[in-house]
Amino acid sequence: MTFLFQSLLTLGLPLIALPLLIHLINLRRHRRVEWAAMDFLLESQKRNKKWIFLRQLLLMLLRTAAIALVVFMLAGPVLQFQWGRLFGKGTTHHLVLLDDSYSMSDRWDRSTAFGEAKRVVGQLLEQASQQPGDQKLTLLRFSQADEFTVGAEGEGMEQSLDRQSYEEIVAKLNKRVVAESDAGPMAAIQAALGLPEPTDAETRIVYLISDFRQEQWQNNSEIGELLSQLRDQANQLQLIQCVDQTRPNLAITNLEPESGIRAAGVETWMQLTVANYGEETATAVTATITQDGHKLPAVQIEKIAPGDSVTRRFRVTFASAGAHQLQATLSSTFQKQGQGQGQKQGDAIEIDNTRYFACTIPPEFPVLLIDGSREGDDGYYLQTALNPGGSSKPGWNPEIQRPEFLRQHDQLDRYAAICLLDVPRLDESEVEALENYVEQGGGLGIFLGPRVQKPFYNERLFRDGEGRDGEGLMPVPLGVPTQLLATRESNRPDIEVSDHPLFRIFAGQRNSFLAVAAVNFYYAVDASWQLPESGKTSVLARLRNGAPYVVDKQFGEGHVVVQLSKLSPKSTDLGSWGNWSLNPVFPVYANELVGYLSASRRQFEQREVGSELVIKFSEADYEPEAEIRMPRSKGSRTMTVTPQVDEGQYLVDAGRSDVSGIWEFELRPREGNIEQRLLAVNVPLGEGDLHHLDREGLAQQLQGVDYEFTLSSQMTTEGSSFAGFRLGDTFLYLLLATLVVEQWLAYATSYHSRPAKNA
C-alpha cells in the first residue's frame, strides 16, 4: 500500500499518541472530592477493577485507531496489487491510450483537452513511479497507432518507470502537441490488443484518455467489442474524459474551384464552405483569403445556423502559369446570435479554421473538337467561341480534328474536354476510348446534327441496359429530328434553362439574350424514355414545348453533356436548326460548358493529413533530385531526397503528411528553371464536431464492458490513484465503524455525560 500524500502521513501519524496524551493529562486534571462513604466506593472499585481497566484500554485503542484511520484516509491510501507480488507477480504494466487527434485541441480558459490529458498522464506516471515493484509504461497515441509494431523500441514502448525515466517522459510529453489527424480509438485499441497477453507475473492497467466524441463513439458497436477484449486482457480499464461540455466551433470544410480551375489569367470562381459545429447560431463570420501570400478581400458570412454549413463564392485570377496556392482562415472569434457588437465568442479549435488549396495553372487548356459536320462549320463556331483570338485570354486552346483522331487513344488524356460535333458514328474502339476517357474524369460534349446516325447513337452510345454498368455515354435515346413549332405565346423563349452553373450567365437577368435564341429543329427524345431515378441524368435546358434540349449525365467520374440540336446556324437539308451559336451569350455558355466538362478531371489535388505524399515526374525531363519544403507554418523544414525510379518515372516520397499546409516540391528539369509543385494538405473533416458522449452515453454505448469512468477535472481534487485500488472509501467506512463502536463502548463505560435533569 502506498499513499498519495506521504508528507501528510508523516505529519499525521504522531497524532495517534493523542488519546494516550489526553488520558495522561486527565489523570492530573481530576477533581478532588473529600468523601465520606469511601467503603462503598472501594468495594465497587474492587469488584469492577479488571473490567474497567479492560474497557478503558479498549476505548483508548479505539480512539487511537480512529485517529490513525483519519490520517490514513487523508493521506490517500492506494492498495497496490501486492498479492500479485507476494506470489511472484512483480510487474505493473500501465498501458496508456492517449487521444491526440486535433479535436483534443479544444480550448477553454487557460487549458485545452490535450493539456488536461497530459496532466492526467503526468499525474498517473508520478504515482506509478513512486510505487514499489516493477512499473512499466506503454504510451500509445492514437495518431501513431497505425505505425505501432509490437516489440519496437519507440517512444513510450514498455519503458521501465522510475523517478528518472518519469521526468524524461513527462518532459517529452509536455512538448508534444496534438496531431492534425482524426485518428480514432479503434486503431489504438487494436494496437493494444496486439501486445502480448500479460503473464501471471504482470498486472496490466489500461487507461483510455480521450474526449469521447460522438462521431467516433456513438453507434459503433465494434469499439465496445474491442474494449471488451482489451478488458479481458487487463486487470483494470479506466476511461478518462478530458472535456465536460461541447464548445462552439466553426470549421472551413471546403476551399475549391467551383467548376475546375482555369488557365493563367482567366478568372476562376472559388467556393468556400464554413460549417458551424456548435449549438448556437454564429453571425458575422469572416474568412480572410490569401493568394500566393497576398491578401484578397475577405469573405463575410452573415449567419450560420447550428449544425449547418454555408458556402460562399469568390473570384480568383491566377495571373501566371505555374504553381499557385490559396489559404482561407477564419477569425478565431465570431459573434453568437443575439450578442452585441464587440462581444465575441471564442472558437474552440483553431486547427480547422484554416484550409489550403494548391494547383498548377497551365497557360491554357487544350480542348479537342471532333467535327463530323459536312462543312466543318460546327467546329468553327465552337472554336471561335472558346478562343476568339486577339487580346482576350479565354484559357482554352481548341483543336479541331476529324473523328479518326479518336483512334489515337493515348492522346486523349491531355485534353481538358472533348466535344463531338455532328459526328455520324464511331467505331467500337473509338467508343471504348471515349468511355475510358469520361470514366476517368474527362468531359464529353455532344452536339447533334443531321449527320448523326440515330441507330448508332441509340445502340452504341445510349446502350440502354447493355453498356458498362448497364448504360452508355448518351444520356437519352434519340428520336427523329423534329421541328419546334411556333406558338401563339410570342413572348415565351424557345429555350428554358435550369439553375445550373452552365447557365449562370442568365441568373438574375430578365432573359434578354435567351429570348432571342431560336431553335427550329431538334432531336426529340424517344417517347418511351423517362428520367432515370439514379439521379445521374438531369435535363439542364428544355425547349418551350418541354422537350429536353441540353441533358447532362454522369458517367464514371466524368460528365457527358448533350445538346439535342445542331451547333451551327447554317442551313441544312431541313433548314437552319437554330441560332444558338450566334447568340451573344454563346461564348460564355461555351466557356462554362468546357469548364464544367473539364472540372471533373480535377486538375488539382486535395490531400488530408496522414496521406502519403508522393509525386511522380519524368526521368527523361528531370534531374534525379528533389527538394521538399514542409509547410511554412510548421517551420518550413527542407529535405533533399533522391527519388526512386519506377518505369521511366521518378518517385519522390515525402512520407506521411503529419501537418496541414502547402507542401512544396522543387524539381530540377534537365533544361530550364527550377520547377515548383505544390500539394495542399488539409486536416480531415468532421473532427471539429465536438459533441461528445457523457458518462451515461458511454455506459449505454459500452454495455457489458467492465470499466471505470473518470472526468479529468474531478481528478484534480480527488487526487489520482489509478495504479491500484483506492482505499479512501474503505478507510472512511472503517472509521465510521470504529467511531460507532467507540461511542457504544464509551456509553457502556459511562463516559458519556448525562442530560441535565429537569428542575
Partner 1 sequence: MTADSKRFLHPEAIRRIGRLELRARHIVEGLLSGMHRSPYFGQSVEFLQHRQYAPGDDLRHVDWKVWAKQDRLYVKQFEEDTNMRCTLLVDVSASMQYGSGPLNKYEYAATVATSLAYLLLKQHDTVSCIAFDEAIRARTPMRSTQKHLKSIVTSLDASDPQNKTDTGAILREVAEFSPRRGMVTVVSDLLGDVESTLRGLRLLRQRGHDVLVLHVMDDDELEFPFEGPTKFEGLELPQHLTCNPRALREGYLAALERFLTTLRRGCARDAIDYKLIRTSEPLDAALAAFLCRRGAGARMH
Contacts with partner 1 by CB under 8 A lie at 26-27, 29-45, 47-48, 52, 55-56, 749-751, 753-754
For partner 1, the closer CB: 286 or 750: 750
Q: Exposed e or buried b for every residue in 449-483, given b needs 16+ CB within 10 A? A: bebbebebbbebbbbbeebeeebbbbbbbbbebbe
**Does residue 411 contact residue 386 with C-beta atoms inside 8 Å?**
no
Which residues, including other chains, have CB under 8 Å from residue 688's CB and lie 6 or more apart? 102, 103, 249, 250, 251, 275, 277, 349, 352
Side-chain-facing half-sphere of 28: CA atoms under 13 Å: 5
Least Å from the CB of residue 718 to partner 1: 42
Provide the minimum distance between the beta carbon of 49 and partner 1 in the complex, in angstroms, as a whole number.
10
Q: What are phi and psi of 64, to 5 degrees?
A: -65, -40
Query: Which residue number, 228 or 749, has a Cβ lying nearer to partner 1?
Result: 749
Place of cell 458551424: 276
Strand partners, 664: 629, 678
Minimum Å gap between C-beta 757 and partner 1 is 9
Shortest Cβ distance from residue 76 to partner 1 (Å)? 37
Strand pairing of 606-608 and 675-682? parallel
C-alpha cell at 559: 460528365
Backbone phi and psi for residue 274, each to the nearest 5 degrees, phi listed first: -120, 130
| Cα first-last separation, the chain | 56
Cα dihedral value 687, 690, 694, 699, nearest 10: -20
In the complex, minimum distance from the CB of residue 742 to partner 1, in angstroms, rounded to a whole number? 16
Least distance between partner 1 and beta carbon 754 (Å): 7
CB of 16 to partner 1, least distance (A): 22
CA distance 690 to 583: 52
Nearest-approach distance from CB 42 to partner 1, in angstroms: 7
Comparison of 45 and 199: residue with beta carbon closer to partner 1 = 45
Q: Which one, 39 or 533, has the nearer CB to partner 1?
A: 39
From 317, 492, 488, select the one nearest 395 (Cα to Cα).
317
- In the complex, least distance from residue 135 CB atom to partner 1, rounded to whole angstroms: 52
Q: How far apart are CA 201 and CA 85, in angstroms?
A: 8
510 CB neighbour count, 10 Å cutoff = 8
**Helix ranges (DSSP H) in 194-294:** 214-217, 221-233
- Nearest distance in Å: CB 26, partner 1: 5
Pairing of strands 202-210, 236-241: parallel
d(C-alpha 262, C-alpha 257), whole Å: 9
**Upper half-sphere CA count for residue 551 (Cβ side, 13 Å):** 28
Strand stretches in 109-185, DSSP E: 111-112, 134-141, 159-160
The three cell numbers of residue 605 are 489535388
Taking the least distance from each CB to partner 1, the nearer of 310 and 745 is: 745
Looking at beta carbons only, is 284 or 741 nearer to partner 1?
741
Q: Are 711 and 238 in contact (CB under 8 A)?
A: no
Three-state secondary-structure class, residue 302: strand
Pick 53 or 83: Cβ nearer partner 1: 53
**In the complex, minimum distance from the CB of residue 759 to partner 1, in angstroms, rounded to a whole number:** 14
One-letter amino acid at 336 equals: K
User: Least distance to partner 1 from the beta carbon of 209, Å?
Assistant: 57
Cβ proximity to partner 1, 41 vs 177, nearer residue = 41
Contact by Cβ (8 Å): 690, 211: yes
- How far is it, in rounded angstroms, from Cα 351 to Cα 80? 41
Residue 39 CB, shortest distance to partner 1, in Å, is 7
Q: Which is nearer to partner 1, 32 or 175 (CB)?
A: 32
Is residue 661 classed as helix, strand or coil in its secondary structure?
strand
527 vs 756, beta carbon nearer partner 1: 756
To the nearest whole angstrom, how small is the minimum distance from the Cβ of residue 740 to partner 1?
A: 20
Cα–Cα separations (whole angstroms), residue 571 to 281, 422, 638, 713: 59, 14, 64, 82
> What is the torsion angle, in degrees rounded to the nearest 10, for the CA atoms of residue 714, residue 716, residue 718 and residue 723?
100
Query: Please, what is the Cα angle at 458 between 457 and 462, to 5 degrees?
Result: 90
**Residue 283 vs 749, nearer CB to partner 1:** 749
Instruction: Return the SS3 of 369.
Output: strand
**Closest CB to partner 1 among 480 and 759?**
759
CB of 186 or CB of 741, closer to partner 1: 741
Residue number with CB closer to partner 1 (486 or 748): 748
Query: Nearest distance from residue 21's CB to partner 1, in Å?
Result: 14
Amino acid in the structure at residue 180: E
In this structure, how many other beta carbons lie within 10 angstroms of the beta carbon of residue 336? 15
Please state the closest distance from residue 208 (CB atom) to partner 1, in A: 58
Least Å distance, CB 18 to partner 1, is 17
Residue 149 or residue 758: which is nearer to partner 1 going by CB? 758
- DSSP notation for 478-500: EEEEEE----S-TTS-SEEE-SS
Nearer Cβ to partner 1 (55/393):
55
CB 81 within 8 A of CB 89: yes
Nearer to partner 1, 341 or 758 (CB): 758
Q: Which is nearer to partner 1, 6 or 48 (CB)?
A: 48
- Least distance from partner 1 to the Cβ atom of residue 67, Å: 21
* Secondary structure (3-state) at 173: helix
Do residues 118 and 172 touch, judged by C-beta distance below 8 A? no
